[in-house]
Amino acid sequence: MKGIFFIAIFKLIMKNNKKKNYCPDCGGAQVNHKAMYLSLLLGEIMEPWVNLSSKILPEKYLENIGLILIKILTFLKIGKLDDTPKEKETGRTKVLFEEAKRRGIDMREFRLFGMGGDLFITKYKGKKRFFDVMPRPKDYNPKGLEWMDNKNEMKKHFKKENIPVANGDIVKNKKKALKVFKTLNNPVIVKPNLGSRSRHTTIHIKNENDLIEAYKKAKMLSPWVMIEEELEGYVFRGTLIGKKFIACLRREPAYVIGDGVHNVKELIEIENKNPLRQGPIFHTITLNDEVTKELIHWGKNLETIPNKDELILLGQKTSRAVGGGITDMTDVIHPDNIIMLEKIAEVLDDPLIGVDFIMKDVSKSWKEEPRCGVIECNSAPFIDLHHYPLIGNPRNVAGKLWDIIYPESKIN
């Protein structure tokens, strides 16, 4: 449990301080820019103290403190425990609730002033757990959590272990950004060093003017900006529980597949009739500036008639809210890639990890692809992505997680 209670409360405030106006750079994961920036800055300032508290107090004591504080706040009627997920909860939380209910696990979310903050209490056969966002076994090494979500620190650790990552560095000002840019092979990608879900991430950067614009966008969300070489291929998510590979999926930006007859615009109209794209999980593809830019990048436009079976990308953000898709790849992932993912789990020494990596074909070994690598690790992965693919078989990752939290609840 990395977050001490008062930091979790601050996160709750940030979570409920949503951006009112739509931001295309946030895509389907809208946030208040200033609130996010302040949250990341405060988190960086407090992280040494949080890590120190973890060393002084064993994890079980921090968990007991959380249980006591929630009990006090509930008694004072400042907050309450709710055993039903709200409609606006993340899919990650919903699948945890659903699987807990199926197993007879009593799961409740603590709501301060009626607002959820990803703080939960669970109980099964007399055993209680308190956790922030996602549960982990009581006895685990939290050391990896100190740097897992920090892209720059992750890169340093993985390079030492010969785990593939993109070349690049973290910067704090435009001068350093330009300096790093000149050392890299084009194209490059610019993104907040802290943050997730591709917010304010810019790709296909080949000149200094575009770099500065991308830097400004990333700086809106994070005090630190990552500049690195753009890898080639799709974004894949590998999820590991108990240091074992559980599932893999391919996260896809909006795309259509040519039939040799219809143009791109017509193919989008056909795809948007897909029943799975009518919500609430997957959504229709919207014609906007991002679609136009991506088509231009590949030398195409809306009137282009793609060849039969030709894949046409319509953006780079993989969010389902902006037309992104998900294909389950668990049964076809190459053994070398599973070994690489499980090595990451060993390096992090953590029982719950979502690893984002880029390569062209996950059925081939990463050793065969020169411009592939890990781009991000997630300490609180959105496991619901595996539960609801657009294409392929769903994977009950929530069940695998509860298996290591409450082994007695396992359903054969």
CATH number at residue 177: 3.30.1490.20
- pLDDT band for 243, please (50, 70, 90 cuts): very high
Q: Does residue 174 or residue 14 have the better pLDDT?
A: 174
Is 368 a member of any domain? no
Predicted local distance difference test score (pLDDT) of residue 37: 74
Residue 335 lies in a domain: no
Q: Do residues 171 and 128 both lie within one domain?
A: no
CB atoms within 10 A of CB 142: 19
Most confident of 49-53, 110-114, 234-238, 309-313: 234-238
pLDDT of residue 22: 72
Is the pLDDT assigned to residue 5 strictly greater than 60? no
Query: 225 with 175, same domain?
Result: yes
What separation in angstroms does the CA of 20 have from each of 17, 239, 320, 340, 404?
Answer: 9, 33, 20, 41, 40
Domain of residue 185, residue span: 167-230
The closest alpha carbon to 291, from 275, 307, 309, 271, belongs to 271
Task: Please say if the pLDDT value at position 207 is more than 80.
Answer: yes
Dihedral sign from CA coordinates of 169, 172, 174, 175: negative
Structural domain count of the chain:
3
Asked if residue 259 and residue 224 are part of one domain, the reply reads: no
Q: Are residues 224 and 258 in the same domain?
A: no
Mean of pLDDT over the chain: 85
Give me the pLDDT at residue 351, please. 94
Q: What is the pLDDT of residue 4?
A: 43
- Quickly state the pLDDT bin for 229 (edges 50, 70, 90): very high
Tell me, yes or no, whether 105 and 172 share the same domain: no
Region 177-203 average pLDDT: 84
The answer as to whether 395 is a domain residue is: no
Is residue 298 domain-shared with residue 213, that is, in the same domain?
Answer: no
Average pLDDT for residues 400-408, to the nearest whole number? 96
Instruction: Kindly state whether residues 279 and 175 are assigned to the same domain.
Output: no
Which of 156-165, 277-286, 317-326 is predicted least confidently? 317-326
111 or 14, which is more confident: 111
Q: What is the pLDDT of residue 51?
A: 59
User: In sequence order, what are the residues at sequence separation of 6 or more whose Cβ sits closer than 8 angstroms to the Cβ of residue 131?
Assistant: 1, 63, 119, 120, 122
Q: Does 96 share its domain with 192? A: no
Question: What's the pLDDT score for residue 61?
Answer: 63
pLDDT at 364 over 90: yes
Tens digits of residue pLDDT in 68-100: 888 888 888 888 888 888 877 788 999 999 999
Q: What is the pLDDT of residue 82?
A: 86
Flag whether 387 is in a domain.
no
Q: Give yes or no: residues 225 and 270 share one domain.
A: no
In a domain, 150, yes or no: no
Residue 26 has pLDDT above 90, yes or no: no
Pick from 21-30, 57-66, 101-110, 190-199: least confident: 57-66
- Residue 319, Cα to own-chain centre: how many angstroms? 10
**pLDDT at position 193, please?**
75
The answer to whether residue 244 scores a pLDDT higher than 50 is yes
pTM of the model: 0.80
What average pLDDT does range 376-403 have in this prediction? 94
Most confident of 109-123, 146-160, 219-233, 241-255: 241-255
Does residue 278 form part of some domain?
A: yes
Main-chain phi, psi angles of 291, to 5 degrees: -65, -45
Exposure string over 182-200, b if 16+ CB within 10 A, otherwise e: eebeeebbbbbbbbbbbbb
Rg (CA), the chain: 22
Same-domain pairing of 13 and 62: yes
d(CA 291, CA 302): 9
Same domain, 9 and 99: yes
From CA 334, how far away is CA 313, in angstroms rounded?
Answer: 25
pLDDT, average across residues 227-246: 94
Residue 148 lies in a domain: no
Q: Is 141 domain-assigned?
A: no
Decide which of 108, 133, 158 is a domain's last residue: 133
Give tens-digit pLDDT for 305-347: 999 999 898 987 777 877 888 999 999 999 999 999 999 999 9
Region 186-194 average pLDDT? 86
Q: Do 128 and 18 sit in the same domain of this protein?
A: yes
